[in-house]
Amino acid sequence: MNYDDNVVRRLKRLEGQIRGVLGMMEEGKDCKDVIAQLSAVRSATDKAMAYIVATNLEQCIVEERAKGNDTGGLVKEAVELLIKSR
């Protein structure tokens, strides 16, 4: 699968958020603030995973339809991936 610039930007943003959380911890910031930022990281991670699964699913469906194959299994597999990620 080819990963587009959108997902790369998302992951770089996540990297920055993680560095920010580490900085907060090194500075001894309040745990509520650290948890709030970690929650934002988790949300951004979930969105990045959903984007990757959706993009991959779209590509796979196009390829399978071109071959004349059924795509129902692909959707089920994508949903299972998202469920496992939680």
Dihedral angle, C-alpha 40, 54, 79, 16, nearest 10 °: -20
Q: Measure the CA–CA gap between 37 and 11, rounded to whole angstroms.
A: 15
- Provide the whole-model pTM: 0.78
Distance (Å, whole) CA 77 – CA 11:
23
Please name the amino acid found at residue 11: L
pLDDT at 80 over 80: yes
Give the domain CATH number at 44: 1.20.58.1000
CB 25 within 8 A of CB 36: no
- pLDDT tens, 16-60? 999 999 999 999 999 999 999 999 999 999 999 889 888 888 888
Question: Do residues 43 and 26 make contact, with C-beta atoms less than 8 angstroms apart?
Answer: no
How many distinct structural domains can be found in the chain?
1
At 13 the pLDDT is 95
| Encoded tokens for 30 | 């309040």
Tell me which residue range forms the domain holding 11.
Answer: 5-84
pLDDT of residue 4: 87
